[in-house]
Structure 1
C-alpha cells in the first residue's frame, strides 16, 4: 500500500489532527494505524509464503475482531473484507459489523488486485482530490473470510415451534378480578393500576424472568402466633409470606388471593417455584439434561475426525468447497466405537459424538465411485507416496499439478451450468451421450451370469434450454454404436426441434472417438453452417474422467428404476420404464430401424440409420491432425473450422477437413446404412437360446425373429467384432 493511499485513508477517517503539515497523528489513533499496517503486512506475507498461513490466519482473525476502532466522537473505522482496507463510517449509520471467532473461521482467501494507472492525491491547499497517472508500486490484497459450515444447519431454538408456543403462553395470562377479602385489597388498587401491574408482568421476556419478578414481590416473615394442636403429626408452619406490588410512588401490600388475581397465575406456580425458593428457578419444561464435556475431550474428538482420510467432490468442488467424503463402509456409529477403542479413558456418548460430527464438520459418506479419472488417481497415489517419504517439495509440486488439472476440468462443468442458466433465444444447446448397454432378456437365473445377452442401445440428447430429453433406442442387431447412428439421431433432433430464431448450435459431449470426436461429426457440423441451417456451431469436450453432464443425470434416473426391476423379457418393458423414469418433462422415446414397443403405436417415429461415413469419405481427409487433443471446435459459414486445445477456448487454430479441391456444400445423397438385421456371433445366439427357456412363451416373438434372421444370414464374419467394439478414450 503506497503512502499516498494511506494518507488519503487518514484524511477520510479524520485521523490527522488538523495540523497544516498533515504529518502528525493524534495518540488515540495509534491503534487504528497499527492495525491497518498489520493487515496489509499479514496479507502480503500470506501471499508470498504459504508456511505463514496459520500465523496469518490468527492475525487476520484478531484484526477482524478489532475491526471497529473509535477515532473520535464522530468517526469510526472498520475492516472492509473485500478490499482489505480500513474504511470510515459515521456513528449515525447504525451499521452492524460482523465479528468472527477464530473457531468459526476455516480459511482466509487472498486475491491480488492489479495496480491501477490512475489515482487521486489530496491537494492540501484546495482540499480537493486531483487525479494523476501513476502506477502503484504495490498491489492491493482482497481478503475473503470463509466461515466453517457443518453438514447440518446451526440450530436456532428461538425459532422452534415449541419455544414460540411457550413464549406465546407467557403472554396469554388473563388478569382476574380482585376478590373481596378482609384486607380490602380491592380498594387499595384502581383498575388502571391493576392493569399496569399485569401488563408489566406479562411483558417480561420469559417464564424464568417472571419467576424472578415474583420472588421480588415476596417477603418472608415469622408467624405471629400458632394455633394449638394436639396432633403430633401436624407440623407447625415455619414461615409466612407477605405480598406487595410496587407502583410509581408507593408500595401496596396485598393478600395472597389478590396477588394471584392481579398477575393471573395459580397458587401452585407460586408455591412450586417462588415460595419454596428452589435453587434453580429456570423454566425446565421440555428440556433434557445433557452431560458436559471438557474442551480437551472435544479437541480429541476433533483431532480424531480430522485424521480420517477424506476426499473432495469429483464434480462439485465449486459449490461444495469444504465438503469432504470418507469411505462408504464407515458410519458415525463405527467411528464412535473406534474412537472409544483408541481412547478407553474417555467416556463420550454417541449423541455427543454425532453432534460434533454433524455440526463442526461437513463430512459425508461417499458412494463407491465409477469411471474414476486416471490422472486424479495417479496423482493421489504419487502424493501419498511423497507424503510417506516426507518429501514436501514433491508433495507441493504434485498438489499444484492436481489443482491445475481439477481447475481445467471445472471449466467444462461451469460452461454447462452457465448455459443452463443463460436461456438465449438464438441458441440451441444440447449434450448427448450413450447410456450403459441394457441387457435382454433379464431372468436372474444362475446361468445368466455366465451367458452373453442381447444389448439394447440408448442414445440420449438433452436440451439444456428447456430441460427436455429424447432417447433413441435400438438393439445391437439393428445398428452399431458408431458415427452413423449418432449423426442420424442428431439430424433428426435438429430437424424437429430447431426454431427459426436459432442461429447458434452449442454441443457438449465426451471424448469417445468412435462416436463423438471424429472427422465425420466435424464434417456434419460444418455442413450445418454451409447449408445455412446455423450461422455458428461449437462443440466442447471435457477433460477425460470429468465428463458429468445433464444427460448423465437423465441416465441415472433410468438406472434407478432399472435396478429395482427383477425381470425384463422384451425391449418394450425398457421403453415403458424410460418413459416413466421422470415425473415432469417425461423423456421422449424414438426408435432406430424398428419399433421396440410390445404394442406398436402409430405415433412413434422410427428412423432409418443413414450412411454418413460413405457420403463423407469421398470429400474429407483420411486423418486430421490435432483431433485427439482438441477441447473446443467451432464452425462458421464461409470459414475454415477452428479448434483449440485449451479448455477456455483460446488460441484457435485452423482445421483442415476436406481434401484438396473439395469443400463447400456436399450434396446429401444419403442411403440407408443397413439393409436388414445385423448377424450376431454364434456363441451369443447360443446363450440367448438357453435363456429363452426361462422366458414365457408369449414373450419370445421378438427373439424368434432374431434367431430366424441369424440362421438364414451368411454374413457372420463381416460383423465378427460387432459386440466386442471398444470405446477408445484419450
Structure 2
C-alpha cells in the first residue's frame, strides 16, 4: 500500500511537472470523471527542446512544489503555481490578491487534528477510488490501476501545489492522509505508540526501590527540627545536612543498584520520583538565626535512637516541651495581633498620627499592639549594577529601626546615619520608641509591645524602667512588654523589612534622601513610613536621651530578667512578670519613691560624636568617586576644607564673645579670659 500511495506523486514521462496524479495525457484518463457529458478535444503538448536554463528552472519549481506546504515558504513574495487549470492559465490567478495567503494563515492557526479532518474531507470528496474506470467515450470500462485525486476550491479545479500551499501541508503528510483515509475513513489520526509503554519504561518495582532508598537514607541522615522551619511551608520535613546534594544521593543509589544487580534510573528520573513521592525529604539550605535549642534537641534525638527506651523518652519530652513553649508564645502573639485589628476596625482607625499632632496622651480608650526591631544596617552609596572596586570597601553606614502597628498595618522606619547615631544600645531604642509614641502613636490608654530576645537592645532593665516611667507619669494606663522565644523570633517587622530591602536592592542610592524615597516607593499604599534621625552633616532630627542613668534615680533593677517573656507595668510602680503566657505571675515593686515624685521631664540629650577625621578622609578618598555628582559634596565633602570652615566659625564665635561687654553684675568678677594668639593677630589686622 505504501508503494501504491507513492505512485500518486510520481510524474509520467513527457508529462507536465506540476501535473496531478492523473490528467488528460495519462493512458487511463477518462474524461467522464471530470466532464461526463462534454466532448472536448484532448490538448496535445508537442515536445520542445530542453535547454540547461529550462532544466534549472524546472528543478527549482519542483523543489518549491515539494515544499509548498512548508511554513518556511516566504509569504511576502506570494505564491504562484505553473498549472493551466484556470482558463489555460495558472490556477493561483483565480484567487484575489492576498486571498490565498489569508487561507493559508487560517489553516496554520488550526490544530493538527482539525486540519487533518479538513484535508480528509477534501480527499473523501474528490478521490477516484472505484474498481473500474468511468470513461464516457468508451463503451467498455477497464480495471482501475491507480487511484486519482482531484483538488477543488469553491467549484474551481486547482493543482496539487496550490492545494498544499493553501492548506499548509507537506507532500508526505498529504500521502499519509490518503493512506489513512483508505484504511480508516474520515477519522482522527492517532500515533501508533499511543497507549503503549516503551521498553525502557519504569515498572512498580523500580519506583519502589527509589522511594525506599530515599526513605532509608533520610532515616539515617536527616535532621529533625521541631515546628515550622523558616523558609519552608511544610511542617513534616526531614532535612538532610546542607553538605548533602541530590547528586551525591543518586550516586549512592546507583552504587547500591549495581551491587544488588537491579536497574538504576537516571538522575533526571531520580529527581522526578523524589519530588513526586518523597517531597518532605530535602537537603537543608544554609540558614541563619536558627533556634540553637531545637538543633541541640534534634542532635540528642539522633543519638538517643540507638539507646534504651528511657533515654529516648527523656530526649523526646525535652524536645516537645521546647516546641510547646514556642508554639504557645506564637499563638499568644497572633491572638494579640488579631485583637488589635478588630479593635482598630471597630474604632475606625485606619492610619497612624502624623508628627506635630496635638492629640493628648492616653486619650483613646483602647489597646494597641506594636512590635519593634532592628534590621541589618545598610551601606550607601548603593548601585544595583555594583561596581567591582566598591565590593572590597566600606561605604557609609545607615542603621534601620522599625516600629510596626500590625492592626493597620503600618510601619515607621527610622534611618540612623553613622554621623548622627549614638549607638544601638538601650538609650537609642528607648529614644526612638519615645519619639514614635509622641509623634506617630495612637495615644492609646493600654499598650502592648512585642520584641525579640536581644538583651542588649530590648530585653534590659532600662527599657522596663522607661515603660514603667510612662505609666507612672500618666502617659499610659497600662503597658505590657512581651518577648518572643529565642530562636523563634520571626514576626511582623521582619516581613516589613523584606518589602524595604527588596526595593533597596534594585534602586540607585546616593544619599539619605534617596533611602527615604526608597522606603516610600517600596509600599505605594503607605504601609512604610520613613523617618530620618539626622542628616549627612550630623545634624540631629530625632534626639537621643540618656535614659539609662536617668531612670536609675527612680527605679530599681528587675531581678532575673532573662527567663521572663511577659512584663506588665502598673500605675503603682510595680511590674507583674511571667515566664510564659500561661505561667503564674510574680510581682516586683521597682519604684523607689512616691509616684508623684517622678518627674515628667525627659533626661539630657546625648550629642553624637559624628565621623572621625580618619573616617571622613577614608570616605572622601575611597568612596566619593562612586557617588553621583549632585551628592558628592553633601555626603563626602573634603574633610580638609570642612575642618578649616569649622575652625573659622569657632574663631569668629570666640572673637564675638570677646568683643561683647560683660553684663553689669559680672564686671570686675574673676579674671579676664585669655585671648588666643591667633585671634589677637586677627584683631590687630582688623
TM-score by length of 1: 0.52
SS at match of 1:503: strand
Residues 705 and 436 of structure 1, relative CA distance in 2, 3 Å threshold: farther
1:666 has 2:598 as partner: yes
Equivalent residue runs for 1:506-655 within 5 Å: 506-563=448-505, 569-592=510-533, 594-595=534-535, 606-621=541-556, 623-638=557-572, 640-645=574-579, 647-655=580-588
Correspondence for 1:300 among 200, 209, 234: 209
Contact 1:570 1:699 in 2 (8 A): no
The residue number in structure 2 matching 1:688 is: 619
SS at match of 1:437: strand
Q: CA deviation at 1:357?
A: 2.2
In 2: Cα distance, 1:637 partner to 1:424 partner: 27
Correspondence for 1:407 among 284, 300, 324: 324
In 2: Cα distance, 1:712 partner to 1:617 partner: 37
Residues 498 and 573 of structure 1, relative CA distance in 2, 3 Å threshold: closer
Correspondence for 1:656 among 573, 589, 601: 589
Which shows bigger deviation, 302-311 or 323-332? 323-332
The residue number in structure 2 matching 1:316 is: 228
In 2: Cα distance, 1:392 partner to 1:711 partner: 78
Correspondence for 1:380 among 292, 298, 305: 298
1:467 has 2:376 as partner: no
In 2: Cα distance, 1:273 partner to 1:638 partner: 97
Gaps spanning 5+ residues in structure 1: where?
Answer: 1-165, 170-227, 236-265, 714-730
TM-score by length of 2: 0.55
C-alpha distance after superposition, 1:524-555 (max 9, x if no partner): 22233334443332111122222111101222
The residue number in structure 2 matching 1:340 is: 254
In 2: Cα distance, 1:547 partner to 1:684 partner: 35
Task: Report which of the two structures shows the higher radius of gyration computed on alpha carbons.
Answer: 2
C-alpha distance after superposition, 1:604-648 (max 9, x if no partner): x93222333343121112x32121221111123346211111x22
In 1: Cα distance, 2:274 partner to 2:317 partner: 30
Contact 1:619 1:663 in 2 (8 A): no
Aligned residues: 453
Correspondence for 1:434 among 368, 371, 374: 374
Q: CA deviation at 1:463?
A: 1.1
In 1: Cα distance, 2:490 partner to 2:182 partner: 68
Contact 2:427 2:548 in 1 (8 A): yes
Equivalent residue runs for 1:247-266 within 5 Å: none
Q: CA deviation at 1:469?
A: 0.8
1:486 has 2:398 as partner: no
Q: CA deviation at 1:495?
A: 3.1
In 1: Cα distance, 2:235 partner to 2:439 partner: 41
SS at match of 1:543: coil
Contact 2:419 2:536 in 1 (8 A): no
Residues 385 and 626 of structure 1, relative CA distance in 2, 3 Å threshold: same
CA RMSD of aligned residues (A): 4.9
C-alpha distance after superposition, 1:419-445 (max 9, x if no partner): 333323232111101111223456877
Which shows bigger deviation, 315-324 or 573-582? 315-324
In 2: Cα distance, 1:325 partner to 1:664 partner: 58
Residues 664 and 358 of structure 1, relative CA distance in 2, 3 Å threshold: farther
SS at match of 1:607: coil
